[in-house]
Structure 1
Amino acid sequence: MSKRPRFERFGEGYLSYGSFDAKEAGLDVGDTLNADETVAYRFTGTIRDSDREYDHSKDNNGFLMGGLAWEPTAYTSASVIFDYLKRDDTPNSGGYPLDREYDRSDFFGEPGFNYHDVERSSITGQLTHDFNNGLTLRGNLRYSDLTDDFGYVYITDSAARVGSVVDRDYFGTDNEAQELIGNAILQYDARFDRVDSSTLVGVEYRDASTEDSSFYGDATSIDIANPVFSGAPSSLNVYSSNKQDFTTESVFLTQNLSFYDRFIVTAGVRNDSMDVSSTNMDGVRDSDDFSETSLRGALTYRVTDEISTYISMVESVAPPTIGVDPERGEQYEIGAKYSPFGTNALFSAAIYDLTRDDVTISVVQDNGVIERETVGESRVRGLDLEAKAELTDSFSVAGGYSYMESEVVRDSNAAREGNEFTAAPKHTASLWGYYTLPSQDMSVGLGARYIGSYYFDAANTSKSSAATLFDAAFSYQLTKDADLAVNVSNLLDEQHVVGSSTADYYNPGREISAKVSYRW
């Protein structure tokens, strides 16, 4: 997200240190540049140098963002923002054998072939003009360039394996992407007696291109009783290579009406016209075009000053690939919010029904390769409950519960019809309690996360166990402008399998970080 310059002098810096020798520093500063305070700048930067919890790992990244803003009058503003991200990471440990539970620090991949390199740069321009008659014009333009490459060796174990030698495969992708996206939005706000109106009309243009290649093949096996690494594969088997260009031209209209401060009606329509062309690794070029219209609407009713209710409907369209219909979604939701007088508390509840057509999912094949497959129709229905309350001047709680029921309704693979989604637990819940000491400069918090069981695979043949994890937080105001924060995730260092196919994968272990920040 772009951090726009502010027309005031400010600054904040921080240093942090944590588990796995994680060192991080950050800076965010800004000020005006001229006497009449019409030009301002902002600079943001972070740098991280860290390992991960398994051997032969790293988690390093750097981020820079700089921006200039110009406000010649109270009605006109313009800004330009540049950002750059570089990530030097390892994607995973290569997985763990299926026969028993292993230590998270174990590594069965390949140190010479375990990388995730990301480099992204973008420049953004923003313009706003208020005509001082209810009419406001906004324009945004962004160009971005991205490379995202990863590769790793992973074990391909079997429950029938005998002995300590385990087969391994390698997998990876090289990706490049460029995108130019811009929009122009005109908003008109007016009041008619006791009716407030806000009309928004806009156009959007997107021109993007991507190049990707995927490789997969056999790697040397490894003896898990005495691991000896053999280096990167001598050659890579590229099984997929594509270049895709697509442009999208969109128009949209949204109307909001508020009646007597009680009823709020929202209606919107959007049309996306998409042209797609693709060239595969054999040089075969294909093209297609789509025109998709989506709708949205909502009605909010303030029953009292404490209680409000709403109902909404939203349609969505995702960019397609050649020969595949665009993924479409349709969600209905009903909810209510309650904020009782005399308290600092908020309670909310919502039920929803989401249907998606032509969803693409990743499926591990019998030979171990991961391929993309399309599901004809899927459906998710659920319930979300949330609560936040200050029970006393020094103690507050926040919690939530979600129930989600997923189902594959229609699929070209009939065996999957009626199955649940992968990695989609029916029940999740969280609860946090915060206590602030009477001096008001120190607070402690303790939280719990519950994750219900879910299926590991699209065929619904293997399932996880439910798990409860605890987290903790501590903060102390060192001075008026300096703070200390300590956070602990997975306080009890619980370990369980969160993914399983040809290998097991575990949840992150206990991680502790301490951060000192200073504002000026």
Structure 2
Amino acid sequence: MSQTKSRFKRVNVNKAALLLCSPVLAASLAVHAEEARDNETYRFTPIIVNAQANAVDDDANDIVAEELWVGGKVATSVLDTPASVSVITEKEIEQRNVSTTEELLEYTPGVITDFYGTDDRNDYFQIRGFQATTYRDGLTLGSMRGVREDAYAYERVEVLRGANSTLFGPADPGGSVNFVSKRPKFEKFGSGYVTYGSFDHKEVGLDLGDSLNEDATLAYRFTAKIEDSDREYDHSKNDNEFVMGGLTWEPTDFTSATLILDYLNRDSSPNSGGYPLDREYDRDEFFGESAFNYHEVERTSVTGQFTHDFDNGLLFRANMRYSDLTDDFGYIYLYDFAGRTGTDLSRFYFGTDGEAEEFISNAILQYDAEFTYFDSSTLAGLEYRDASSEDQSFYGDAAPINIANPLYSGAPGSLSYYSRNDRDYKTKSAFLQQNFSFNDKFIVTGGVRNDRLDLSSTDITGFKSSDDFSETSVRGALTYKWNQEVSTYISMVESVAPPSIGVTPERGKQYEIGMKYAPINTNALFSVSVYDLEKDDVTIAVVQENGIIERETIGESEVQGVDFEAKIDLTEQFSLTGGYSYMETEVVKGTLRSGTSIKGKEFTAAPKHMASVWGHYTLPNRYASFGLGVRYTGSYYFDTANTAKSESATIVDGSFTYHFYQGTDFTLFVRNLFDDQHVVGSGTADYYNPGREITATLNHKW
């Protein structure tokens, strides 16, 4: 292993304190260490960070992350980040037997997941009352965001609560989720597993890598997973294939280049069809159409990452990704209503055939300098995105079904297409971030970004439309470090939501104060934040004086709340993660499509209270370990008019692991231990939360 690689692993995070200059991270750190080469001593100022910061955290063996990676854009200390953040490490992903994004986020404060139950087309989650924007390795997923990501592809997931457009571009104000891909390591490692469980769930996975030469300048990683399973309702399937390969080249201690190629293939059923509204039904019942319930996804991505440290305070980073996607689905669903009599229910078919192609890249320069009374970190970057998509959607009447004696009538004889679109999006962005650190106590952060967006679309009639936007967002933050353990911050961050042709982009602004505590000699992090978040320029229906309803950009929404999180490795045997969120949402100005005012109403799927705790204990002899988790979700409204509401719910998860011998484990995991059943979404039909699922996994590591 090279001298620099060894040095990265020895650096104490308290010495390598990082600082955020990003909007989503809140500050940017740089890499400049004065190096006395003769005696191998290294000096780090409060805003100086190692170029290979991701070598400090050990995600495979730790649930407490000390750094945010943000996919190669910036690497910053969690303690000094003036924003509310959560990091789910590889160890926590494994402890909780996570396979979907919804499962990844269900123990994260401020995040509600799975509020559409057995609608399995996408991963559904919101942060602070708004739809979250998703990234992979710091680059927006854009038109790929509807794909259900596979947790086995990632070594960590970073959740950033609040607006963040200043560094990452157009996004809703609630927050973002950044998936960090597994990368090659300059050491030999490997793991493999087999799983069997509920709903005839069969799964195998493999993850291995090593250096490819004696000089340890070239390393590889290979990751693969195959899943063959049904879902909890009849006439369903959930078959997935994922393959990823990566190469990293580090010819010197200051230069690194990584290439990652991955392929995802999903063949599954998208929907149970929903359940009638009159009473509670068994989850395994199916009221859709067995011959017309398909979801086929195929995606190929190529990712490149490059870093060069000039060893004089200047650091250059470049990232790119190309993706190609096909996404086709179709299903039939129930149409029920309150007060319905009889057992014959109407049904409708719905689906979309889609293709998307996307290229996104950035180039970032970071410069750090030390002065007598302060230190400076400056980050400047350019980003380019070119995305195109084609989709056609169909909708129409389907044969009714008798819910007392379901008989399936087959797929629709013909499909009625109501929408066809060919869209192109181009974005050119420039951003600048600046940090100043004074007396090892105060950190001042500022940032500005401009996004120039060119949009064009052709619809089903052949009508072509286009639009262009130039949107600027800013952020500012002040962090005060009381000591090496405690930091406090106050921040203001703006956001610009992804725009549509002919509509003024929706803008958000968040004010937040927070505190973080990382006790010395204890592997733990506690954080609390209080925020006020608003979204303006929301397009709503307005009744004009002549009685005509027209869309106007005057809507406004507001969220106020508190988020608390604790991640603790109490001992080598016991780890604990817990969180609590309180959230007040309000439509300040808004209407339904009919023009009816909804002023003063709460958001949909936005509970006031959410809480969770997950603990994992290993016996002193290390032959066995236990995990237990509890998730509480308060009641929330199903519709914007606030006419129907869910019940509050508490779900318990559990696990037991027996360690046969070094490197080999057997794990039994139970999700929703007591098989609680409740309605999580309701409209023309009810949708239930996932039921009890038991899986048994044999895993071997080397």
Letter in 2 for 1:129: H
The residue that corresponds to 2:354 in the other structure is 175
Is structure 2 residue 649 aligned with structure 1 residue 446? no
Amino acid in the other structure paired with 2:608: K
Q: Matches of residues 151-170 of structure 1 in structure 2 within 5 Å? A: 151-170=330-349
The range that moved more, 431-440 or 124-133, is 431-440
Q: Distance in 2 between matches of 1:345 and 1:86?
A: 38
Which shifted more, 428-437 or 399-408? Answer: 428-437
> Is the contact between residue 503 and residue 539 of structure 2 (CA under 8 Å) also seen in structure 1?
no
Contact 1:375 1:412 in 2 (8 A): no
Alignment-derived partner of residue 367 in structure 1:
none
Seen in structure 2, the aligned counterparts of structure 1 residues 334 and 60 have a Cα distance that, compared at 3 Å, is same
Corresponding position of 1:116: 295
CA-CA distance at 1:392 after TM superposition: 6.9
Residue 338 of structure 1 and its aligned partner are, at CA, apart by 2.8
SS in 2 for 1:210: strand
Bigger drift between 8-17 and 81-90 goes to: 8-17
1:192 maps to what in 2? Answer: 371
Name the structure 1 match of 2:144. Answer: none
- Work out the CA distance in 2 between the residues paired with 1:500 and 1:126: 44
Is the contact between residue 193 and residue 206 of structure 2 (CA under 8 Å) also seen in structure 1? yes
Structure 2 equivalent of residue 80 of structure 1: 259
The within-5 A match list for 1:178-257 is: 178-193=357-372, 195-257=374-436
Q: 1:344 to 1:9 in 2, by over 3 A?
A: closer
Separation in 2 of the partners of 1:17 and 1:197?
54
- Partner residue in 2 for 1:366: none
Deviations 1:187-213 (A, max 9, x none): 112222353322111000111111122
Number of the residue aligned with 1:270: 449
RMSD: 2.1
Distance 1:180 1:262, change over 3 A: same
Query: RCO (CA 8 Å, sep 6+): is it higher in 1 or 2?
Result: 2
Structure 1 residue 469 displacement after superposition: 1.1
Q: CA deviation at 1:358?
A: 4.4
Letter in 2 for 1:301: Y
**What is the Cα deviation at residue 383 of structure 1?**
0.7
Aligned-partner residue type, residue 635 of structure 2: S
Q: What amino acid sits opposite 1:60 in the alignment?
A: D
Give the secondary structure class of the aligned counterpart of 2:597: helix
- Deviations along 1:486-519, one digit per CA (max 9) or x if unpaired, are 2211100010111111111100001112222222
Provide closer, same or farther for how the CA distance between residues 242 and 393 of structure 1 changes in structure 2, counting only shifts above 3 A.
Answer: closer
**Do the aligned partners of residues 203 and 392 (structure 1) sit closer, same or farther apart at CA in structure 2, a change above 3 Å counting?**
closer
Is the 2:526–2:567 contact (alpha carbons within 8 Å) kept by the matching residues of 1? yes
Q: Match of 1:20, SS?
A: coil
Residue 483 of structure 1, CA deviation? 2.5
Match of 1:369 in 2: none
- The residue aligned with 2:544 is none
Query: Residue 514 of structure 1 corresponds to which residue in structure 2?
Result: 696
Shift of 1:373: 11
- In 2, Cα distance between the equivalents of 1:391 and 1:401? 20
- Secondary structure, aligned partner of 2:487: strand
Residues 504 and 553, structure 2, Cα contact 8 Å, conserved in 1: no
Q: Is the Cα–Cα contact under 8 Å of residues 375 and 408 in structure 1 kept in the other structure?
A: no
- Counterpart-to-counterpart distance in 2, 1:490 and 1:438: 28
Instruction: Verify: 1:90 aligned to 2:269, yes or no.
Output: yes
SS at match of 1:298: strand
Contact kept? 1:198, 1:256, Cα under 8 Å: yes
Query: Which stretch has the larger CA shift, 406-415 or 126-135?
Result: 406-415
Opposite residue 178 of structure 1, the aligned amino acid is: E
**Residues 442-501 of structure 1 deviation map (CA, whole Å, 9 limit, x = unaligned):** 221222111111111111111111111111122333222223332211100010111111
User: Which whole-Å deviations, capped at 9, do the CAs of 1:118-154 have from their partners, x for residues lacking one?
Assistant: 1111111222111111111111121111111211101
Conserved in 1, the CA contact under 8 Å of 2:637 and 2:643?
yes
Deviation at 1:345, TM superposition (A): 4.3
CA–CA separation in structure 1 for the residues paired with 2:532 and 2:262: 38
8 Å CA contact 2:288–2:333 kept in 1: the answer is yes
1:54 alignment counterpart: 233
Amino acid at match of 2:406: P
| 2:354 maps to amino acid | N
The equivalent position to 1:435 in structure 2, one of 617, 631, 642, is 617
The one-letter code of the counterpart of 1:497 is V
Gaps of 5+ in 1: 362-371
Task: State the alpha-carbon separation in 1 of the partners of residues 225 and 570 from structure 2.
Answer: 37
Distance (whole Å) between structure 2 residues aligned to residue 114 and residue 240 of structure 1:
20
Report the counterpart of residue 202 of structure 2 in structure 1. 23
Is 1:463 aligned to residue 666 of structure 2?
no
SS at 1:419 equivalent: coil
Counterparts of 1:299-448 in structure 2, within 5 Å, are 299-340=478-519, 344-358=523-537, 376-389=555-568, 395-413=574-592, 414-448=596-630
Tell me what 2:659 maps to: 477
SS at 1:228 equivalent: coil
Larger deviation, residues 71-80 vs 497-506: 71-80
- The 1:255–1:453 alpha-carbon spacing in structure 2 relative to 1, beyond 3 Å, is same
1:492 aligns with 2:671: no
Distance 2:371 2:658 in 1: 51
- Counterpart Cα distance in 2 of 1:338 and 1:516: 37
1:341-379 deviation line (CA, Å, top 9, x unaligned): 565544321111111234589xxxxxxxxxx99882211
Q: Compared with structure 1, are the counterparts of its residues 482 and 194 closer, same or farther at alpha carbon in structure 2 (3 Å cutoff)?
A: farther
- 3-state SS in 1 of match to 2:243: strand
Q: Find out whether 1:136 has 2:315 as its counterpart.
A: yes
Contact 2:376 2:435 in 1 (8 A): yes
Q: How much has 1:283 moved relative to structure 2?
A: 0.4
Q: Which runs of 5+ in 2 are unaligned?
A: 1-179, 541-550
Q: What SS class does the counterpart of residue 199 from structure 2 fall into?
A: helix
How far off is 1:85 after superposition? 0.4
Aligned twin of 1:280: 459
Q: 1:284 and 1:151, CA in 2 relative to 1: closer, same or farther beyond 3 A?
A: same
Q: Structure 1 pair 390/320, CA: closer, same or farther in 2 (3 Å)?
A: closer
- Letter in structure 1 aligned against 2:668: V
**Pair 1:35–1:436, CA change in 2 (3 A):** closer
- Cα deviation 1:9-40 (Å, max 9, x = unaligned): 22221212221111111111222223433222
Q: Distance in 2 between matches of 1:385 and 1:212?
A: 41
Name the CA distance, whole Å, in 1 between partners of 2:645 and 2:426: 41
| Rg (Cα) greater in structure | 1
CA 1:7–1:387: 2 relative to 1, 3 Å? closer
Deviates more, 1:332-341 or 1:136-145: 332-341
- Rounded to whole Å, the distance in 2 between the matches of 1:348 and 1:184 is 32
Write the distance in 1 (CA, Å) between the matches of 2:254 and 2:686: 58
**Structure-1-length-normalised TM-score:** 0.93
Deviation larger for 387-396 or 57-66: 387-396
Question: Could you say what secondary structure the match of 2:492 adopts?
Answer: strand
Taking structure 2 as the reference length, the TM-score comes to 0.70
